[in-house]
Every structure is written in C-alpha cells, then in structure tokens.
C-alpha cells in the first residue's frame, strides 16, 4: 500500500487514508468489509473539480441564458435574461453577494432561467450541450477547458479506491446530468454511479414515433445537497456508505450519514487553503470545518497534503 | 454461445436471444456495442418472479396492515385497516375486481395503508422487515417461500447477459426497497441496479445523534410504471437501454424507449400461458401482446419456450 497515492505528500492525511483502505480490505483485518458494501461517495464541486470563481455549471447556465436572450428578444424584458443579455454585472454581483449571505432569491432566479433554457429538450440533446461546453469552454485564470480542471490527487484517490474494490459514487449538489456528460472520461465513474440534483422528466414520442425522455423546467425535490444527500444516496445505492469526501456545509449530512455506519468509516473534507495553486476560502465551509474536529473527519489541506492540484496538461 | 440458456427449449425464441447477444458482443460484428453501453432492463413482477394470485408485495402489505390494526384498535374504524382486520373478503375482492376494470380507488386505499404501516421507520428497519417476509412467508399454491418463486429461465438469462458484460438492471413498478432486500441473493443484481417505485425520505438524527434516512408515507412521483419507467431509467442509468424484458402493459413505454435506441435492440415480453406449471392470463397485458407483433418484440411463451419454471427446490 505504501506506494499508493503518489500525488499526495507523505503526511498524516495520506497515511490515514492508506491505513483506512488497508484495514477495510485485508481479509484478516477485524475491520474487513466485503466489496459489495465498500461504498464511497464523493461530492463534485470543490471536491473533485474547481468551483471558483463560479460553479462550472453556472458558467454553462449563463451562456445558455444569454443565447436564449439573443434568440428570443421578448425574454429580455425579465430576469435573469435581461441581466445576462445586458451584461449587468451589478445585478449578477448582487445575486452572488446575496447568496453568500444566505439570501437565495437572485440565485433562484438564475436557476429558473437555466432550467427554462433547456426545458423540453431530450436528455440526449442536453448531454451533447453539456459535453460540448465542458470540452471547449475555458476557465479564465487557468486557460484550460473546464473538464481538465479536476483535482488530480482526488482523482487518484478515486482510482485507488476502485482498485481496492470500492464502489465509488459521485453525489453532487449540482446537476447530475451535467456531470454525467464527462464523468466516465474524467473520473472513470459510470453515469449510473453519478448521483445529483435534477429536473423531472416527461415521456414522449417524437414525430417519428420514437420514445424520448424530455427535460422539464421543474426541479426534482429534494435537491441533492445538505439533508437531501442521504436520501439521494439511499435512493440510488440502497446502502449506507463507509467513506465520504466533501468540502462544504452541503456535505455535512452526507458525512454524518457515512460515519453513522457501524464499524470503521472515513470522512474527508477538502480545505481550500492554496491561493497560489488554486484558491483559499472558508466561506460556505465554516460549519463543516468546525464539525470535522468534533466528528473526527480528516481535513485535507490542498496546500500541505497535495504534491500537485491540476493535471500538468491543465497548466 | 449454443450451449447458453440451458433452461430454455431449443426454439426460435431462445435462438433469437442468443443471436442478439452474439451480434452485440462479437468485436467484428457490425452490431458490436461496448460493455459500457450494454444496458438491459428487466421488469420484476411477472417477468422475474411470480405475480399471481396477488403481487408478492401486496401479500407483505396485507400482513403489515393487519399487524397495525391489531396493535392500534382505533385504526379499525377506517379502510383498509377495517377490511384487513375483519378479513372482509367482499371489500378486498371488490378492490381487486375494480382494479382489473381500471378503477384504482380500492387499490389506492390499500396502498395508502401500506405506506402508513411503514411511515417513519429507517430504511434499514424496512429492509429487515421485507427480508424476513421474503425469506419466510410462503405462497399457498407452491408451498415455498416467496423468494424462491423466481422464473429460473429468466434468472439464467440475467446471468448469461452479465457473463457477456451486460449491465442488467431491474425496473420494477413495485417497491424498489422491497425487491432490494433480496435482489443480490436471488438474482445477483446489486441494489444500486434495482430501480423501482418508492416513498420519499427524510433525513433525521436519532436520540444518539446517529444520522438516519427515514421513510415517509408519501409516494414519490412518478411511480416506476408505464410512462414513468423511461424517466426512472434515465435518472438511474443515464443511458438508453439496448434490451428490455417485461410482461404487461406497464412495460410498453420501457420497451418502446429501448427499441428507440439506434442499432440492434431486443424487446422481450413474457407471456403467461402455462396454467399447469404457473398461470395463464392475458389481463393487463392485452395491449402489450398486441404491440409486440407490430413492434417486433419477442413474445416468450412460458409453456413452449421454458424447460422449467421454478427452481426444483421450489417444487
């Protein structure tokens, strides 16, 4: 095991992860768990890939809203189409600032615009749009396509767990179908093991009589965040996980549900403390960081525990 | 491939299934599909296990409703607790007869009682109750525990597909968590690959502060039947299947969605035409049987295509 996690510095964090894997997988270990029950859940935004300065999906949404406002002038009369079309940074900045203070109204308006932009299209058409964006749109600071801005030590951890017969699921607060467009390519995680928030769907037959699943503009409840994560995990997996990794307050309930499993468990919290290679921020993670101490979750320091952050090809 | 499906008689049906598998899996075949995309969906009631004279889950529900009526006398004032407690076969028979005629009211009342009987318990407690029932409760005619009343040729087909790197999912109109209690044991299908109808859930922490996922008595919409099946399939799998097997009108949309996949697909419809070894009935499958001819779905005759129905240990 000692040669595992080559992208991690030789710190107590790395050692704790390797010890956990060894104790779960060794047949003679009192903590041995069979592969069927080796369930691990990873949050996505800020845990597996970049979430600053804006969620990647929000960048995708802003483009879709802008495109729609160009195509349908009548939409420019109302938000969020008006602000995005006019590049009204005051309105957009206020939505972001309000969100940071716990006022969801501006973000909800943006979210509704996003759902409206893809209302009624087939799941295959949405997948193609998401993949096109993730393949081609670039982050301004790192100058690379978004799909390359995954945290390589975390991706290595996913693969190490898979090699040790863990079943690794993504549990994203963001849109499940957005992540599914690339999850196999960038993480080696199947679409069926990618859980997340979603719209509801409608069955329909097209003009040729071919059955289709169409998106609606209605968000499915609960969203896969905070106390919604454990219900989503149960619904998709049907087992309580033994390992979970997150980075924000939205991951607290998932972490609690995981460490509530009898026997040995592992909770990880990625701490963004690396302004040089990525970002440093505690906003939205204050409570999780506080709880980590009390609950025994391991805090991963991006700065101190990782040899690298992004893939070299990502600059 | 010719020695596959040993529990199937040497008929055109068996040959068509084996041909499909061979064409999908042979590298040099123009119909070759990589394992990631080899998605198959099986309905459960009447396709993988017995559904007569009542759905197995309904037997489970009647016991739970009866037990609750014993424990809480005040419930005996209202339906369905009153009828079940008093063994009022006229009321229960009318609910079943109305259902056969398309009037759902009696069945809805029974369903609400079922959901109420398990309201607020943890998903683990529900799983234990379902497993206890499926292990021990016996079918009156076959005198065996319900979990042994699976159709062995269909189980063999599931395993044959798995050996050929298909990902085989269950898509049941019944309760997902009821089937999950035994799906690994009786089908070798993981819980995470068992899709179905469900209640919604609540996150809660118990008196010891341990996080729990609790059942509610509210049914999640849509239920996983008829036009609800393709949305459930998309939500869980994220890919259009290339094979599906069902037995009733509730499987029509799943079959249409499957054969809507570009390229070679296979739709199977199990026809209950074997009164000696199982049952003979077309009720609830009339439209599906009619469509099968038009759409090219293969009708599996229980009587003519299967050497055996149940496991010998199931009598």
pLDDT digits (tens, 9 = 90+) for B74-125: 999 999 999 999 999 999 989 988 987 889 899 899 999 999 999 999 999 9
Q: What is the pLDDT of residues B129-183, one digit of tens each?
A: 999 999 999 999 999 999 999 999 999 999 999 999 999 999 999 999 999 999 9
Residue A234: list chain B partners with CB under 8 A: 123, 201, 213
Question: What's the pLDDT score for residue A96?
Answer: 84
Contact B211, A260 (CB under 8 A): yes
- The H or E element containing residue B201 is strand B199-205
> Would you call A253 an interface residue with chain B, using a CB distance cutoff of 8 Å?
yes
> Would you call A261 an interface residue with chain B, using a CB distance cutoff of 8 Å?
no
- Say whether B211 and A260 touch across the interface (CB within 8 A): yes
Scanning chain B, the segments in alpha helix (DSSP H) are: 12-25, 56-71, 81-85, 89-100, 105-117, 123-136, 152-163, 176-180, 183-187, 229-237, 252-259, 286-295, 302-305
Q: What is the pLDDT of residues A65-78, one digit of tens each?
A: 999 999 999 999 99
> Would you call B202 an interface residue with chain A, using a CB distance cutoff of 8 Å?
yes
> Would you call B70 an interface residue with chain A, using a CB distance cutoff of 8 Å?
no
Residue A231: list chain B partners with CB under 8 A: 200-203, 213
CA dist A165 and B201 (Å) reads: 29
- Say whether B213 and A234 touch across the interface (CB within 8 A): yes
Q: Is A102 exposed, middle or buried (0-12, 13-18, 19+ CB in 10 A)?
A: exposed
CA dist B107 and B94 (Å) reads: 10
> How close does chain B come to A105, measured CA to CA in Å?
25
Number of C-beta neighbours around residue A162 at 10 A = 16
Question: What's the pLDDT score for residue A82?
Answer: 96
Strand B280-281 to strand B266-273: parallel, antiparallel, or no bridges (unpaired)?
A: antiparallel
Task: Please name the member of A167, A211, A231 whose beta carbon is closest to the beta carbon of B230.
Answer: A211
Which of A215, A220, A235, A297 has the highest number of chain B CBs within 10 A, making it the mutation to test binding with B?
Answer: A235
Q: What is the ipTM of this complex?
A: 0.95
Q: Give the mean pLDDT of A281-301.
A: 96
Residue A68's SS3 state is helix
Number of separate helices (H) and strands (E) present in chain A: 13, 8
CA dist B84 and B68 (Å) reads: 10
pLDDT > 90: percent of chain B: 93
> How close does chain A come to B230, measured CA to CA in Å?
7
Number of separate helices (H) and strands (E) present in chain B: 13, 9
> How close does chain B come to A14, measured CA to CA in Å?
27
Binned at pLDDT 50, 70 and 90, residue B1 comes out as very low
**Rounded (5°) CA angle A241-A154-A136:** 115
Q: Give the mean pLDDT of B24-50.
A: 98
Strand B199-205 to strand B211-219: parallel, antiparallel, or no bridges (unpaired)?
A: antiparallel
> Would you call B239 an interface residue with chain A, using a CB distance cutoff of 8 Å?
yes
Does A2 have pLDDT greater than 50?
no
Does A3 have pLDDT greater than 80?
no
pLDDT > 70: percent of chain A: 98
CA dist B302 and B5 (Å) reads: 14
Strand A199-205 to strand A211-219: parallel, antiparallel, or no bridges (unpaired)?
A: antiparallel
pLDDT > 70: percent of chain B: 98
Q: Give the mean pLDDT of A175-179.
A: 98
Mean pLDDT of the residues in chain A: 96
> How close does chain A come to B285, measured CA to CA in Å?
20
Q: Give the mean pLDDT of B207-219.
A: 97
pTM: 0.96
CA dist B293 and B299 (Å) reads: 8
Q: What is the pLDDT of residues B253-307, one digit of tens each?
A: 999 999 999 999 999 999 999 999 999 999 999 999 999 999 999 999 999 999 9
> Would you call A256 an interface residue with chain B, using a CB distance cutoff of 8 Å?
yes
- Say whether A238 and B210 touch across the interface (CB within 8 A): no
Please report how many Cα atoms fall inside a 13 Å half-sphere around the Cα of residue B42, on the Cβ side. Answer: 29
Residues in B 72-131 with any Cβ partner in A closer than 8 A: 123-124
Which of B305, B221, B298, B194 minimizes the C-alpha distance to B255?
B298
CA dist A237 and A41 (Å) reads: 10
Task: Please name the member of B123, B192, B227 whose beta carbon is closest to the beta carbon of A203.
Answer: B227
Binned at pLDDT 50, 70 and 90, residue A310 comes out as very high
Strand segments, DSSP code E, in A133-207 are 167-175, 194-197, 199-205
Which of B296, B294, B288 minimizes the C-alpha distance to B254?
B288
> How close does chain B come to A191, measured CA to CA in Å?
6
- Say whether B231 and A200 touch across the interface (CB within 8 A): yes
């Amino acid at each position: 095991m000692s040669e595992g996690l080559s992208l991690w510095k030789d710190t107590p964090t790395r050692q704790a992860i390797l010890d956990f894997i060894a104790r779960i997988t060794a047949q003679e270990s009192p903590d041995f768990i069979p592969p069927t029950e080796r369930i691990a859940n990873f949050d996505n935004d800020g845990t597996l890939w970049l979430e600053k300065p804006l969620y990647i999906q929000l960048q995708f949404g802003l483009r879709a809203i802008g495109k729609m406002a160009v195509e349908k002038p009548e939409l420019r009369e109302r938000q969020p189409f008006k602000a995005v079309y006019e590049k009204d940074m005051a309105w957009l900045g206020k939505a972001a600032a309000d969100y940071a203070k716990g006022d969801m109204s501006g973000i909800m308006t943006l979210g509704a615009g996003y759902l409206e932009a893809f209302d009624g299209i087939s799941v295959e058409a949405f997948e193609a749009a998401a993949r096109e964006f993730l393949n081609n749109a670039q982050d301004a600071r790192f100058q690379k396509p978004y799909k390359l801005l995954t945290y390589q030590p975390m991706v290595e951890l996913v693969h190490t767990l898979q090699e040790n017969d863990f079943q690794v699921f993504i549990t994203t607060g963001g849109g499940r179908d957005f992540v599914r467009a690339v999850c196999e390519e960038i993480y080696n995680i199947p679409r069926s093991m990618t859980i997340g928030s979603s719209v509801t769907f409608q069955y329909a037959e097209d003009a040729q009589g071919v059955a289709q699943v169409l998106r609606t503009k209605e968000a499915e409840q609960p969203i896969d965040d905070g106390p919604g994560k454990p219900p989503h995990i149960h619904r998709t997996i049907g087992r309580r996980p033994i390992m979970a990794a997150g980075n924000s307050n939205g991951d607290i309930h998932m972490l609690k549900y995981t460490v509530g499993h009898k026997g040995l468990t592992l909770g990880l919290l990625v701490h963004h403390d690396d302004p040089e290679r990525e970002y440093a921020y505690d906003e939205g993670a204050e409570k999780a960081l506080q709880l980590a101490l009390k609950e025994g979750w391991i805090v991963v320091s991006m700065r101190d525990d990782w040899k690298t952050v992004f893939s070299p090809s990502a600059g």
